Structure 1
Amino acid sequence: MVLFLVFVISIWQVWHPCKKTCILSISPIIFRTFFSYDWVGKISTLKLRFRFSFFIVFGLLFLLGCSTKKDAFVNRNWHALNTKYNTLYNGNIAFEQGRDELRNSYRDDFWEVLPVERLEVTDEVKLDSEDNNPNFIIAEEKATKAIQKHSMDIKDEERNPQIDEAFLLLGKARYFDQRYIPALEAFNYILRKYVDSDKLNEATIWREKTNMRLDNPELAIKNLQRLFKYEDLKDQEYADANAVLAQCYINLKAPDTAIQKLKIAQAYTKKNEERGRYLFIIGQLYNQLGHKDSANYAFDKVIALNRKSPRVYMVNAHLKKIQNTEVTENNKEALLEYLTELEENRENRPFLGKIYREVAQFHMATGADSLALAYYNKSLGANQGERKLSALNYQDLADYHFDQNVYKTAGAYYDSTLTNLDENTKKFRTIKKKLDNLEDVIKYEDIVQHADSVITLYEMPLAERTAYFEAYIDELKQKAEEAEKEKERKANAGFAAFAETQGGKENKGKFYFYNITSLGYGKNDFKTRWGDRVLEDDWRWSNKARTATVEETTEVQVADVSIGGAIADDEKYELDFYLDRVPTDVKVIDSLRDERNFANYQLGLIYKEKFKENLLAAGKLGAVLKSDPEERLILPSKYNLYKIYEESGSTLLADQMKQDIIRNHPGTRYAEILLNPQAVLAGDTDSPDARYAALYKMYEDQQFLEVITQAQEYINRFTGDPIVPKFEMLKANAIGRLRGFEPFKEALNYVALTYPNNPEGKKAEQMIAEQLPKLAAAAFSPETGSSGTGNWKVVFPFKIRDNDKALKLKKRLEDAIKDLRYRNIVSKDVYTLEDQFVVVHGFRSKDFALGFAELIKNNKDYRIKDENFVILSSNYKIIQVHKNLDDYLKQQLTPKP
């Protein structure tokens, strides 16, 4: 029987033109014949001798079939069967599982044109040694095993008809693991080696997909066009090839050609999921080209597929159609009805975030702002982790509040927008810049609000102030009572609802602690009232560790004055608690007025320069002039008001302000500018930039006292000019060089806090964080031993008043160093307002430094006997930073134990 079956298969193999298909189609018959229960039962009825002969023959066939070097019928079919039904079968299962994982984890970005293939592509370069998707690793291992163990390459011809499929699986596994170069090698091997394979067209399509991923779409297009010209493709292969072409043209920014290829692909594909995706992309590309009618026609086709295609395409097609429709009086009601149907459809629940956003935009377009804001918030609440949707909602909310001049709220929404955007994007940088500008607005508006509130309370007569706080306390009590009633109402409603359920009826009449629902409500009510309490004595006392309630930790706002800290219940409702917190010291109120005026001035400049809100800017600057400001704010406020009136076309107001400045502030820079506009040219020697450059040269020349004095003068003179923070930073550095660490730290803090969004303010903040901790150490390094290595200096102290003597010594030292052919450098360093040093730098050890001092003292050619001391370079830096020379000298004179 076995020999007969072998004979039949051999005849069939020789006769039939498609060897691979026919052999494998009959192979399951052979397996079922050999291993079915009926056949074994028949064998069991044969004589023992015949059964023994059968197993010998079968064993010989098995042994003969294991060889990959013999081109025999048994060998070919044995390895083909093992390849297809064992190795490749398991490899294909792993491959499909891996691809399903990628599809399930991938989330399409419907705000952009979708990729033709649902595959997330990253910029990282993967290597074979890296840990990749385990399913694709298994698929690759199975394909490799099939090639290694079952390939029958005899006389440069592959005799196992399944090896081409093994190479195809190998390439696809590598492709989905984004290892495109190895994948390309596998596909090219099929095309080069298996010229008679029925997988050539499929391998070509996969190869061109890989070329496209390798940023070579032109080559992919060329090869696919050749494929269309010379090969006969099946419908699905034709669809796949056109889909690859479409993606190539999308990458090449040719959407019109991509549309044509996608139309062909959707017509020939047999997969409705692909058809829905292709039609949706066609609609997106038409939108990109500005053809909204054609786009809507494509979206209608997506909608018509209904449940044949994934619902996500249909819902987004509905939304895209709505976005393409301009809201008018005629279609307003129809659009709202359309959106309401989408919202109320239960099957659309996973997409409510996007639907709510579209409803919000509809209401914003129709002027229903409150409804729009409500739906934006509903969209945020219904969003299922889609960061771009959250970013768009937060940005729309931020823009709305920004346009309403509610900058503090707008800033909070912009901040939330940034958390949902990728940092390395243009949009992130644009919003970040806007938020940085708003930070100053928020800061100064808070200062103004706080100062106005406190001053208003201070200026109230005592009776009026008392009445105000009594009304506020009554309002607090009323809110507390309403909150308590609401809590009780919810609890009773919960009990009543439960009582009607089966569980409530079963628990009815039971002891409290046996009634699970009553017990649950009781626990929640206790935690709401008392927080998390430890089981111990005196648990009710407030100083016990517990989680405070929101009511206890929330700051109390009185007339926009924040009274922070934990407030006990007995204080919250006491009149004296609030009256005692209103300042009564005139100095405090005057300080608040100065802060408010400066904040209003800064707001005026920000609204004018950064936001181009001239009306708001004029209001703030006008408020400054009406509030008895400091002298330094009056002139720049008037000048900026003049510029605002001039830009707004208010000629009369602008002329009045101009005459005011010329008449009341003659000789000032602003008066000169108004009288002679040429004075503002960049080359003007009296310009702020020129003054700064001259002052910086003085700083380099160590004229620190003059720098500090003149910098302050220029700060007062150029108040409001963008160069002021640079003067402040230069002044801070000069203070540090002249007065030491603590004054330097204080000056840097002032720059960082006053100009937080200027480059100088940010640099000061960086210096505080990074440099000041390194400079803070005031302990001297040990200088034990006379031969310690390092960088040493010889220092000659002088008084500032003896500057001529110091200069003469510096010249003599330089001449001596030149004569002795040393390579040391001499400098004159300011130490304090009264003291300075002449310093010789660059000695390798203490012995060298002491030797030099002794040499110039005793050598008859020099006779330099001025007082000096030798110091380690790191210790010299410490005395310059902390101005503690006396401590150093005392430490050196103290006898060592």
Structure 2
Amino acid sequence: MKTSIKAILALVCSIFILGSCSRKKDNFISRNYHAVTAEFNALYNGYIALEEGRNDLNDDYQDNYWEVLPIERLEVFDDVVLPGQSKNESFSRAEEKAVKAIQKHSMNIGGKEKNPQIDEAYLLLGKCRYFDQRFVPALEAFNFILYKYPASDKINQAKIWREKTNIRLENEELAIDNLKRLLKQEELEDQDLADATSMLAQAYLNTKVVDTAITLLEIAADATKSNDERGRYKFIQGQLYNQLGYKDSANIAFDKVIELNRKTPRIYMIAAHIEKIKNFDYSNGDKQLLLEHLTDLEENRENRPYLDKIYHQIAEYHLKNKSDSLAVAYYNKSLRTNTPDKLLRAKNYETLGNMNFDVSLYRDAGAYFDSTMTNLVVNSKSYRVIKKKRDNLDDVIYYEDIAQVNDSILHLVNMPEAERLAFFQEFADDLKAAAEEAQEKREAAERNKGIITVNNNIGGQPSNPGNPGLPGQNTSFYFYNPTTVAYGKNEFVKIWGNRTLEDNWRWSNKSSSGGSGNILGGDIVASASEEERYDPQFYISALPSEEKEIDSISKERNFAYYQLGLIYKEKFKEYELSKSKFQNLLKSNPEERLILPSKYNLFKLYELLGENDEAQIAKNDIVSNYPDSRYATILNNPELAASADDNSPENLYEKLYEQHENQKYAEVISKCEEYITAFDGESIVAKFELLKATATGRLYGYKPYSEAINFVAVTYANTPEGKQAQEIKSKLIPQIANSEFVEASDSIVQNYKVVFKFDNSESSKITTFKDTLISVLKNIKYYNLKASLDVYDPKTTLVLVHGLKNEQLAKTFDQLLAEEEWRKIAKPYFAVSSSNYQIIQIHKNLDTYLSTNTN
């Protein structure tokens, strides 16, 4: 009986309490029930979700220590977030909890909020939206707190977060005014003071007021309760002092970061050490002490995650001390750490590329620059600088390869027979010795295979042939035996050289530069039989022997010398290298066309190098032996070099291009051929060749155009014009290859032309007819018709009427004219669609069209 009375009493009490917890009743029980429920249920879970989301952001965020760090670790993305979407599930969940607390526990009675936890809910709501990068909705939440809860204990936090949001929305001036007002009106302490001053510092940084930002960061670092933040603020201070050039002040700031040691993330301490090392005075400082410090950082086991940065700094130290080999070793060590820092990788590759470039290893430099670009943001300034440098190397690599290979071949051809035989005998002996060594390694590998298998089965342990990564494995498979793998690699390099991993790697033109295997041709060694491979006469027989073939190799080598001289002079300003190339060219019995330009370029180089006596000798040589040349004219009249020369190749090209625009295609082709001969050996020739190819296509059609473009693409492959021709060949030529006419279709809107055909011998009639046609077309109402003239081929010119919208109208063009108007121009015509007219002009198949399409 007593039990039932207690149960009934408990039930009654529960009903009474629940009835008293209405959100519409302003009493003690209701206020405290909703406050406690909101705080320890919805808001508690919401803040847990918010913290999870912030941890996810911190884990994904990578600081760029090559620039001044932002105050807050938050990467802002440009992705558009639609309503109802979220970038992070944790923030979405936290926002739901904040909204739930507001909807279920808000006690807005008589226009006043009676639940003291609702302002906290709105603050949580704003933070969730802020970290989810929905800054405008976040701003609304913070402003709502300021508007509805002016007496809230969270009011200062709401103000700070509002200004953080304004800074993200690039309203820095407004944020600065509001934060300065807050600091002046309120006595902020501890974390609130740290947050306000750090955000004010960020606003000043965004507006380039660095000195004020440094002062504010000092206040923030002293006020914050978080050692993580303290280490970050001190480190940013050091970066800003460096930016202003105050290295001593910067080092003091970095020392404060280092003193925090394990209290702050270790990356800040390592970065501080590195920044201090960058500030080292190599002229007056103790280099040995610095090296010991770098070595200590390298050998500290706790620094292993940061060896990429430490190795890079050690490499920089050795590079500044002219220890290039050690610098290269440490740059490569830094790269082998597989660092996630793309800018660090880019700087390593770029420095290695520059070092190879400085010692004229252009192929290696090009490879390093390629790797540099893969680690830079495409189309950024640094990317464009490297790309330009890399593009310039293409020509150098191409012509250096030609010069090196052809020099080697000519050297072998010109050797006395006894020396040549001795050279190839030594080469064959080296091949044989390498093959015998490889055979010994192979036999040793076979013997070791049995020993390994036995040893792995000691104690009755079964072998495991199906799982090659476990003890007792059967190592008969080639790639599981390191000895045979190493042998295979050596054999491949010996036969083929260092080939790039790409399609058609076996082609002879894919072989890498350097090494006797390249001089002799990797394919020759690979294709030789066992007996031929070790016979020196086999290789001697592969050398060119006919005078014509040797002369061709010599000409190709000389042209490569000439191009290298120009490239080193014009693009890289390597005047000594350029001079040596031109001098070697003149000693190599070059063609007549290359002699005078080479001598003139040498004269200019002597002047640039201050070698005045040599310059005078070169000038006298040109003036005396080539008095009628352009170069002699310029040397005798130096003012011509500074003013525009009407007969310069550039001006002649411009005039010829104007003729091309005026459809003087036959004249353009003839003049191009003349200028190509006159300026043979100069870079302008490729431009004339491409212009000639274009004029050829307009005058003779698709097939001659395709052949001319192919010639430019192959002959001038490493010039801008050659690359443009290659692009035309690969993209445009296939698109215009089809010569089939297009059938009229109702679904395709076509423009039509009316065409009058003339023989070129009637040149005066053509001009008169066109003028008359233009005057007649002006009198046609309702249609905006125009006339033009097109060259069809060397014998035919076409006069066209444009602006007709359908085939029937074009076919009955004469009916649009009054009878007296038609008499003025009465001449047979035909109608053609714009697409078919294009095919006619490209493929020169007008007769075919007329035979199948009659009016």
TM band (smaller chain) = 0.7 to 0.9
Distance 2:113 2:342 in 1: 52
Are 1:196 and 2:126 matched, yes or no? Answer: no
Residue of structure 1 in register with 2:843 after alignment: 882
- C-alpha deviation, 1:886, in angstroms: 4.1
Q: 1:132 to 1:861 in 2, by over 3 A?
A: closer
Asked if 2 retains the 8 angstrom alpha-carbon contact of 1:552 and 1:568, the reply is no
AA aligned opposite 1:457: L
Residue of structure 2 in register with 1:136 after alignment: 91
Asked if 2 retains the 8 angstrom alpha-carbon contact of 1:741 and 1:776, the reply is yes
Residue of structure 2 in register with 1:675 after alignment: 636
- C-alpha deviation, 1:478, in angstroms: 3.8
Residue of structure 2 in register with 1:242 after alignment: 197
AA aligned opposite 1:700: E
Distance 1:122 1:866 in 2: 67
- C-alpha deviation, 1:423, in angstroms: 1.6
Are 1:745 and 2:706 matched, yes or no? Answer: yes
Q: Unpaired segments of 5 or more residues in structure 1?
A: 1-44, 532-546
Residues 447-486 of structure 1: pairs in structure 2 closer than 5 A: 447-460=402-415, 464-480=419-435, 482=437
- C-alpha deviation, 1:596, in angstroms: 2.1
User: Which of the residues 457, 471, 476 maps onto 1:517?
Assistant: 471
Q: 1:331-364: CA deviations, max 9, x gaps?
A: 2222222111111111111111111111111111
Distance 2:264 2:832 in 1: 83
User: Which of the residues 546, 552, 573 maps onto 2:533?
Assistant: 573
User: Which of the residues 627, 631, 654 maps onto 1:666?
Assistant: 627
Residue of structure 2 in register with 1:55 after alignment: 11
3-state SS of 2:476 partner: helix
AA aligned opposite 2:312: R
AA aligned opposite 1:55: L
Asked if 2 retains the 8 angstrom alpha-carbon contact of 1:555 and 1:565, the reply is no
- C-alpha deviation, 1:238, in angstroms: 1.6
Distance 2:207 2:367 in 1: 40
Q: 1:679-698: CA deviations, max 9, x gaps?
A: 33555433334323322232
User: Which of the residues 540, 543, 563 maps onto 2:522?
Assistant: 563
Are 1:776 and 2:737 matched, yes or no? Answer: yes
Q: 1:888 to 1:586 in 2, by over 3 A?
A: farther
User: Which of the residues 703, 709, 720 maps onto 2:670?
Assistant: 709
Residue of structure 1 in register with 2:279 after alignment: 324
- C-alpha deviation, 1:472, in angstroms: 2.6
Are 1:617 and 2:572 matched, yes or no? Answer: no
Superposed CA RMSD: 3.7
Residues 280-295 of structure 1: pairs in structure 2 closer than 5 A: 280-295=235-250
- C-alpha deviation, 1:645, in angstroms: 0.8
User: Which of the residues 621, 642, 660 maps onto 1:699?
Assistant: 660
AA aligned opposite 1:61: I
- C-alpha deviation, 1:865, in angstroms: 7.8
Residue of structure 1 in register with 2:43 after alignment: 88
Q: 1:701 to 1:790 in 2, by over 3 A?
A: closer
Are 1:636 and 2:597 matched, yes or no? Answer: yes
Asked if 2 retains the 8 angstrom alpha-carbon contact of 1:127 and 1:179, the reply is no
- C-alpha deviation, 1:805, in angstroms: 5.0
3-state SS of 1:583 partner: coil
User: Which of the residues 581, 591, 595 maps onto 2:552?
Assistant: 591
Q: 1:630 to 1:84 in 2, by over 3 A?
A: same
Asked if 1 retains the 8 angstrom alpha-carbon contact of 2:339 and 2:345, the reply is no
Asked if 2 retains the 8 angstrom alpha-carbon contact of 1:792 and 1:845, the reply is no
Distance 2:180 2:821 in 1: 96
- C-alpha deviation, 1:419, in angstroms: 0.5
Residue of structure 2 in register with 1:26 after alignment: none
Q: 1:569 to 1:60 in 2, by over 3 A?
A: farther
Residues 420-439 of structure 1: pairs in structure 2 closer than 5 A: 420-439=375-394
Residue of structure 1 in register with 2:396 after alignment: 441
Are 1:337 and 2:292 matched, yes or no? Answer: yes
- C-alpha deviation, 1:767, in angstroms: 3.4
Residue of structure 2 in register with 1:305 after alignment: 260
Q: 1:247 to 1:859 in 2, by over 3 A?
A: closer
Task: Number of aligned residue pairs: give it.
Answer: 828
Q: 1:656-689: CA deviations, max 9, x gaps?
A: 1112212222222211111112333555433334
User: Which of the residues 763, 766, 772 maps onto 1:803?
Assistant: 763
Residue of structure 2 in register with 1:18 after alignment: none
Distance 2:454 2:282 in 1: 50
Asked if 1 retains the 8 angstrom alpha-carbon contact of 2:189 and 2:223, the reply is no
Asked if 1 retains the 8 angstrom alpha-carbon contact of 2:561 and 2:582, the reply is yes
Q: Unpaired segments of 5 or more residues in structure 2?
A: 486-500
- C-alpha deviation, 1:842, in angstroms: 5.0
Distance 1:636 1:232 in 2: 80
Distance 1:608 1:321 in 2: 40
Distance 1:512 1:92 in 2: 55
Q: 1:783 to 1:317 in 2, by over 3 A?
A: closer
Distance 2:451 2:225 in 1: 57
Residues 833-852 of structure 1: pairs in structure 2 closer than 5 A: 833-852=794-813
Asked if 1 retains the 8 angstrom alpha-carbon contact of 2:750 and 2:834, the reply is no
3-state SS of 1:228 partner: helix
Asked if 2 retains the 8 angstrom alpha-carbon contact of 1:795 and 1:871, the reply is no
Distance 2:525 2:98 in 1: 69
Asked if 1 retains the 8 angstrom alpha-carbon contact of 2:130 and 2:165, the reply is yes
Q: 1:794-822: CA deviations, max 9, x gaps?
A: 34242x44434544555565566567778
- C-alpha deviation, 1:877, in angstroms: 2.2
- C-alpha deviation, 1:884, in angstroms: 2.8
3-state SS of 1:131 partner: coil
Asked if 1 retains the 8 angstrom alpha-carbon contact of 2:88 and 2:132, the reply is yes
Q: 1:565 to 1:348 in 2, by over 3 A?
A: farther
Q: 1:493 to 1:205 in 2, by over 3 A?
A: farther
Asked if 2 retains the 8 angstrom alpha-carbon contact of 1:437 and 1:757, the reply is no
Q: 1:402 to 1:621 in 2, by over 3 A?
A: same
The share of aligned pairs that are identical, in percent, is 48
Distance 2:285 2:195 in 1: 44
AA aligned opposite 2:363: K
Q: 1:764 to 1:857 in 2, by over 3 A?
A: farther
- C-alpha deviation, 1:765, in angstroms: 4.2
Asked if 1 retains the 8 angstrom alpha-carbon contact of 2:34 and 2:115, the reply is yes
Distance 2:443 2:45 in 1: 63
- In terms of mean alpha carbon deviation, does 647-656 or 450-459 score higher? 450-459
- C-alpha deviation, 1:169, in angstroms: 0.5
Distance 2:371 2:467 in 1: 47
Residue of structure 2 in register with 1:69 after alignment: 24
Q: 1:212-252: CA deviations, max 9, x gaps?
A: 22222332232222222222323122222222122222222
Distance 1:497 1:299 in 2: 55
Are 1:255 and 2:213 matched, yes or no? Answer: no
3-state SS of 1:831 partner: strand
3-state SS of 1:794 partner: strand
- In terms of mean alpha carbon deviation, does 233-242 or 462-471 score higher? 462-471
Distance 1:601 1:400 in 2: 25
AA aligned opposite 2:557: R
Asked if 1 retains the 8 angstrom alpha-carbon contact of 2:342 and 2:376, the reply is yes
- In terms of mean alpha carbon deviation, does 658-667 or 821-830 score higher? 821-830
3-state SS of 1:793 partner: strand
Q: 1:745-796: CA deviations, max 9, x gaps?
A: 23334444555676545544443344323221111224799xx975143342
